[in-house]
Amino acid sequence: MGKRIEDGELRRRAIAGLRDEVEAFGSGHPDSRLISDDGLLASVTPASPQRSLFNSAFYEYPEVLVAHLDELGETYDAEGIHAWTVWVPDEDRDTARLLADRGHALDAEPRAMALDLADLATEPPAPKGIEPRAGDAATSAELNDRAYGYGRGAFRAALAGETAIRWHAAYRGEEPVCCVGTIEVGDDCCVTGVATSPEHRGEGIASWLLHRVLAEAREAGTASASLQATKAGAPIYERLGFRDFGFIEMWELRK
């Protein structure tokens, strides 16, 4: 058995993976771009102006974010973007207060979760009639929009192109019913874009597909997996062995 990953490192990985997600969010459309400085990365996606998920900023150093906050606001305004957000770790209350004072509102509190893949739970039962296949960006984007009730101006607008995300899919016959996205971050597998079509929820498809993906990653030498979980998604990940390491707040400015 390899060396265990300490809790502090698992939490660090859960937060650090956000940077790579932001990079993907700002790379999936020809008109998208990234703003980058020392410890700061922000995605700019004019094709999805109402969705702050695709217009978001990740920072390592609060002072760098503060120095660029006006510039970020001006850029999003100039691009016609109506909602953008800043990812704030739960321990950084000063930045949360600053953003609140600048008109941002707390929009969501995803859980930062991570898993030493040595602790991956046993494989869930295989759903009847479901088979795994390689995924693609366009199909996975459509599944995410359907799963979360978004229109075409969301995932299909922002992430239908090629990014660092590798997509995995589950099919029933010729129908795509579930997808999981992964980004390789060192020896961590950052999980993103997990979605199941509404008519197939409750069948255990997402748990089964994600377990397959993580088992394959472990076999290839990946040491951990990390993700940001919604309230509804967290129990699924806990059953696979993921642990909760606090939350990441999304402080949104919407006009």
> The whole model's pTM is what?
0.94
CA distances to 4, 8, 140, 170 from 136, rounded to whole Å, are 33, 34, 6, 11
Q: Which residue, among 67, 11, 79, 73, has the nearest Cα to 37 in the 3D structure?
A: 67
Query: What pLDDT does residue 152 have?
Result: 81
Query: What pLDDT does residue 142 have?
Result: 95
Query: What pLDDT does residue 2 have?
Result: 65
Query: What pLDDT does residue 210 have?
Result: 98
3-state secondary structure of 19: helix
Q: CA 227, CA 96: separation in Å to the nearest integer? A: 21
Stretches where the chain sits below pLDDT 70 are: 1-2
